[in-house]
Structure 1
Amino acid sequence: MSLAPPVSRDLLTAAAETVALVLEENSPLPETSDDVETLAARLRGHISQLAVALPAGDSAVTRARKLGSTAVPDGYVSSRVHLVRLAEVTQSLIAAARGRDPFERLPGQRLRRPSRDSVRVLVFVLALVTLVVAASVPRT
């Protein structure tokens, strides 16, 4: 059992949004080195906040802290690769933090619709209960 504080939905949502800025297919690459530094700083902040809520010996936490402590390398390609790796380890921390709360949904994830047969059974049970209640009411 972990004594770490629970992670708020706002923190998980903010971290997931930052990760989406980097990892989504339709998201453009940062144009300037300042953009890369800004995104890297945001991801490092999410890593430090999420790592507090997870067990210290967790391999995802250790990997994220190690990668988060390294500086963004010079060069266009290497800095973007480092940014993607930061986003990936942040994503693994988000998944680990969500693993502590089984009722947490991903942002934008819709609830699953029940199957047609489940709805039919529910309607049948409600109709049967209504008949039983109606039959048990005394007639006047």
Structure 2
Amino acid sequence: MAAAETVALVLDKDSSLPESAADVEELARRLRGHISQLGVVVPPGASTLRGAQQLASAGLPDGYMPSRVHLVKLAEATQELVATMQAHGVSPAKPTRRRRWWKPRINVLRGSVFALAFACLVLAASVPRT
């Protein structure tokens, strides 16, 4: 879903290409991230995956037009990966939720230590002296 939104930012007819170099770098970084995430889901032998990974590993070229052209190519490669994933009927894996243990508050810990110390004191006082 996020990949489609990022692709739409670049390829949608109503959206204009980013003006600043920082915006281009940010979109390229996001598209590279989507390509790497989709690379896990798409079957490894897919030709679209190999081409997208090669494109993503290339650096962003200098200059206004070359950087925008590279950005559009990244978006198209991401779009092809999404289409390949949907064609193979593979759904993205949901992240597994790790069980979160209850973290006691500091006063609970202090009370537990006090109770343990008090129990040791009572036990030591009840032992007969010889």
Query: TM > 0.5 between the two?
Result: yes
Per-residue CA deviations over 1:39-70 (Å, capped at 9, x if unaligned) read: 00000000000011112121000000000000
Structure 2 match to 1:79 = 67
Which ranges in structure 2 are unaligned for 5 or more consecutive residues? 92-130
- Who wins on radius of gyration, i.e. which is larger? 2
Deviation at 1:28, TM superposition (A): 1.1
Paired residues, what number? 91
* TM-score after normalising by structure 1: 0.63
Counterparts of 1:57-136 in structure 2 under 5 Å? 57-101=45-89
Cα pair 2:35 2:53 within 8 Å, conserved:
yes
CA distance in structure 2 between the aligned counterparts of 1:40 and 1:17, rounded to whole angstroms:
13
Deviation at 1:102, TM superposition (A): 8.7
Per-residue CA deviations over 1:11-48 (Å, capped at 9, x if unaligned) read: xx100000000001110110100000000000000000
Per-residue CA deviations over 1:69-108 (Å, capped at 9, x if unaligned) read: 00110000000000000000000000011112299xxxxx
**Large movers: runs of 4+ above 6 Å:** none
Cα pair 2:41 2:90 within 8 Å, conserved:
no
- Matched residue of 1:38: which SS? helix
Structure 2 match to 1:14 = 2
> Percent same amino acid at aligned positions?
57
